[in-house]
Chain A
Amino acid sequence: MSETKSDKYARVAYYPGCALEGTGHPYNRSTKAVGKALGLDLVEVDNWNCCGAMEVKNIDPKVQTYLSSRVMSIAANQMRMDVVMAPCNGCYHNLKKAEHDLAHDPASAEVVARLSAKAGHAAYQPGQVESIHALDWLKGAIGEDGLRARVKGGLKGLRIANYYGCMYTRPRNIFPEKDAGPGSESTSKPHFMDDLLAAAGAVNVDFPLKTACCGGAHTLSDSDLSTKLVLNILNAAEAAGAEIIATECPTCHSGLEMHQIRAEKRFQRKTQVKIVYFTQLLGLALGLSARQVGLHENVSESRELLAAKGLG
């Protein structure tokens, strides 16, 4: 009998990545807390390294492929794991890109083989592990029905705009499991976060900028442009009637938080919508406290709003 996703994702190698040890710590905390509450086993990848992020990738994409492949190699060859779960869109994207490169580009495979030998570990072979996002993990391991059965109180009709960012679905060709028919994720209109939060009792608003650029790449070169792009996302979320923007990427999350403040200072444009990780919202729906999901670590202060609804 073939293994179901529910079984396969019950125990996964956890790759938090650099951001979740810094600005994205509440995402790390809430992901672990939700996993524990749901009885799912996260085994952190031993001695993991940077995925290559954007900095390495824009200088030498093959070095990024190697860096990401090392994480997957450790999970597969040293930890004997089948699945690597990365909550960060950047890490997730880079693992998928490395998988794609190694399967389709002999030059990348050659670089990975050479650098792996030099570093003294087995070179990762495409297909050894399945790389997934935290959304895939919870959707596959628990699903909407499982979540509905476990929520305690739920999200009480909290109106949420789900923001997926740009890297979760792009480019389409490195995500062969997406756009694969009923039940799969969509690259043009992603819905996994919507599905999970609706099952937890939220009301998802119609938010047309869910995969739009947040200007992250311009943050240092043109901060005003980043601020304007974020302000537009915040304005659109409020126009859609959202009380909260749910995020699933530490870079997007930090960008929205920081530029919300900067928009007020630089352009005198104040927005009220709160920014909260989707794992924090799921944790609250499961009966965890505000502190257990790390709301106190967010820059965007959402505790009063959520407490008024009896959450946290």
Chain B
Amino acid sequence: MIPLDEVESRLATLTAAAPAPDDAAEILALGEAVLEHWVRARGETPTTDRQEGFRLLALHRQGARGMPSFNACRESCRELIYHYNLLKSEPEHPDAGRRARMMALLANHLCLFVGGKLQTERLGEFCCASKPVRAQSG
């Protein structure tokens, strides 16, 4: 498993430069690596399943089980997939470079968010103000 600080460092390099559409697969894999850290920190084995065709979404679902506040990064994961699909389906699009950079920024946000939840208050007890009501409603 790639150490989280290496993931962050690689994403920093990608976002600072101009990532290419060909980098989409690597950026997606870095996003998966981030979620693997979260799942392992909770004492589970990261799933190899796919949801809607993507392991990233299956990992997010696994990571949010019993931890509804983790849904705060759900949209980031879905936007990552959206940008991946754009880059794969239209690699020659005039906006492809911008889309690749946006995908890297999305992965970077996921990395920072999960990194924060890993270090603060026992896996994110504090983070996400909606926790009490979410915990009540299961």
Contact = CB atoms under 8 A, between A and B. Distances in A.
Interface of A: 54, 57-58, 61, 90, 93, 97, 100-101, 104-105, 166-167, 170-171, 173-174, 188-189, 208-209, 211-213, 215, 217-218, 221-222, 225, 228-229, 232-233, 235-236, 239-240
Contacts of A222: 116, 119-120
B133 A173 contact: yes
B20 interface: no
A171 B137 contact: yes
Contacts, number: 112
A213 B72 contact: yes
A12 to B, nearest CB: 24
Given A93-B130, A188-B74, 7 more contacts: A100-B133, A166-B129, A167-B130, A173-B134, A208-B82, A213-B128, A232-B108
Contacts of A167: 129-130
Interface stretch (B36-44, B51-59, B97-105): B97-105
Given A105-B136, A173-B137, A208 B112 contact: no
Nearest to B110: A212
B129 A225 contact: no
Interface of B: 15, 68, 71-76, 78-79, 82-83, 98, 101-102, 105-106, 108-109, 112-113, 115-116, 119-120, 126-134, 136-137
Nearest to B79: A208
Given A217-B128, A221-B120, A239 B101 contact: yes
21 contacts: A54-B129, A57-B132, A93-B129, A101-B133, A170-B72, A170-B130, A171-B137, A188-B74, A208-B102, A209-B79, A211-B75, A213-B73, A213-B113, A213-B128, A215-B116, A217-B128, A221-B120, A225-B112, A229-B109, A236-B102, A239-B98
